[in-house]
Every structure is written in C-alpha cells, then in structure tokens.
Amino acid sequence: MAINPDFAGRTYPATAPYEVSRVKIAEFADAIGDTSPLYRDAAVAQAAGHSDVIAPPTFAIVVSMVGAGHALADPGLGLDYSMVVHGEQQFSYTRPLRAGDVVTAQATIASIRSVGSLSMMTTRTEIRTTAGELVCTAVSTLVERGK
C-alpha cells in the first residue's frame, strides 16, 4: 500500500517535554565513538561558550524522531514501517542542544510523493524549548520500498 498523499500538510501535536540530560548525551557520544569532552565535561563546554555540556549535532534525531513518530503512527497514513529506509536527513540549528534544555518536537508532513514503486514522505520537525526558542529544524525523508 502506498502512502496516502492526502496527508501532506498535516501538522501533529508537539511531543511531551523532553529533558536533555548529561547522561543521555554521554551515552549517545559513546555510541558514536566520539570522545570530545564538550559532550562530557561541563567546564570544557563552558570554556567554549556553552552553559553546560552540548550534544553532538545528530543527537537532535533522538528528539525529532519522537515528533515524527506521531506522524508515522497516524492510522490512515498507510506507511509500512518494515519497508521503510531513511532517504535523506537535514538539520538546521540556531545553537547546539545542551544538557538542561527542555524541548518539544512538532512534526508536519511536508510532502508525499511516489516515484515508480517507491513512496517518499518528507517530515519537517521543529525542536523548541518549552519557552518557545527554536533550537533545531529536522527535515527527514523516509522511503517506503514497493512490494
């Protein structure tokens, strides 16, 4: 089943607040093999001008995926997640995410299109602090392979 193109333009509710923690940042940095002290040592991060340890750039996916998940789980959308591969990913940042940020992610389906047996869906997810500051916009394109 192809993705229903009528769902383009839908905006989903923002996620519950997510608190970015030092522990989760360090776990993520360990998983990607990045040993930078900016992700572990608040004093080093502060010396570089940040208020606390910062997160690696792609950490934003941890938060944006939850917001986009609201779209993917929409029952009428018709997305078969077992046939999905990640096609493209873009992030625009106003600043790095950092420990202590409390953020929400709100997804909009930007476009749905078909090319041959493939369906492609692009979501645009805004990550904002609960005070309303836009920190990152994540644009993801998922590709559903045809059967």
Partner 1 sequence: MSAQVSYASVEAGTELPAVSYPVSRLSLVKYCGASGDFNVIHWNDRMARAVGLPDVIAHGMFTMAEAGRYVTDWAGPAATVAEFGVRFSAPVVVPDDDAGATLEVSGKIEEKLDGNRVALALTARAAGTKVLSRARAVVILP
Q: Which residues bind partner 1 (CB under 8 A)?
A: 24, 27-28, 30-34, 36-38, 44, 48-49, 56-58, 61-62, 65-66, 81-83, 85-93, 95-96, 139, 145
Q: How far is the CB of 117 from partner 1 (least distance, A)?
A: 13
Quickly count helices (H) and strands (E) in the chain: 3, 5
53 φ/ψ angles, rounded to the nearest 5 degrees: -60, 140
Using the minimum distance from each CB to partner 1, give the nearer residue, 10 or 50: 50
Q: How far is the CB of 35 from partner 1 (least distance, A)?
A: 9
Adjacent-strand bridge partners of 144 = 84, 119
Q: Kindly calculate the radius of gyration of the chain based on its CA atoms and give it in whole angstroms.
A: 17
Q: How far is the CB of 37 from partner 1 (least distance, A)?
A: 6
Q: How far is the CB of 64 from partner 1 (least distance, A)?
A: 10
Using the minimum distance from each CB to partner 1, give the nearer residue, 7 or 91: 91
Using the minimum distance from each CB to partner 1, give the nearer residue, 7 or 28: 28
146 φ/ψ angles, rounded to the nearest 5 degrees: -75, 160
Using the minimum distance from each CB to partner 1, give the nearer residue, 6 or 133: 133
Closest CA to 9 of 143, 142, 105, 111: 111
Q: How far is the CB of 4 from partner 1 (least distance, A)?
A: 22
Q: CA dist 88 to 40, 120, 123, 138, 147, Å?
A: 29, 10, 11, 11, 21
Using the minimum distance from each CB to partner 1, give the nearer residue, 64 or 106: 64
